[in-house]
């Protein structure tokens, strides 16, 4: 079993920054890849950013390229999403996902991000 605990969401003005954290209950080396997804009201969940744990290969959806950065911290078993230059359209529920090496996929509980204009 893998538990993922997200934190760092909140209310921020347009142009501001937030850093989301996803802390895993297992060593990151047992996870192949982690990603952040978001879901806005009335829209389907979409991939925002993902990173391979070994190698650090990253991928971002076009709308956040140049503004968001995903990173990993082995010592803390944590993946971060640094969000800069936030826009109202970034508003939504953000979910962390982990692809474990042998236990399958897991979702965090989600954290809310609201960007006001």
Name the DSSP letter for residue 43: S
The pLDDT, as a whole number, for residue 81 is 98
DSSP characters for 14-40?
Answer: TT--EEEEEEESS-GGGEEEEEEEEE-
Mean pLDDT of 6-14: 98
Mean pLDDT of 72-80: 96
Mean pLDDT of 51-79: 96
The pLDDT, as a whole number, for residue 59 is 98
Q: In whole angstroms, give the CA distance from residue 116 to residue 88.
A: 6
**Average predicted confidence (pLDDT) for the chain:** 97
Token code pair at residue 42: 């009335």
The pLDDT, as a whole number, for residue 8 is 98
């Amino acid at each position: 079993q893998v538990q993922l605990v997200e934190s760092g969401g909140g209310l921020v003005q347009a142009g501001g920054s937030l850093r989301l954290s996803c802390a895993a209950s297992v060593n990151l080396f047992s996870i192949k890849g982690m990603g952040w997804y978001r879901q806005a009201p009335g829209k389907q969940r979409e991939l925002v950013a993902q990173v391979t744990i070994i190698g650090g290969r990253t991928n971002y959806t076009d709308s956040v390229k140049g503004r968001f950065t995903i990173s990993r911290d082995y010592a803390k078993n944590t993946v971060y999403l640094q969000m800069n230059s936030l826009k109202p359209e970034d508003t939504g529920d953000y979910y962390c996902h982990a692809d474990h090496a042998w236990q399958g996929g897991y979702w965090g509980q989600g954290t809310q991000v609201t960007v006001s204009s």
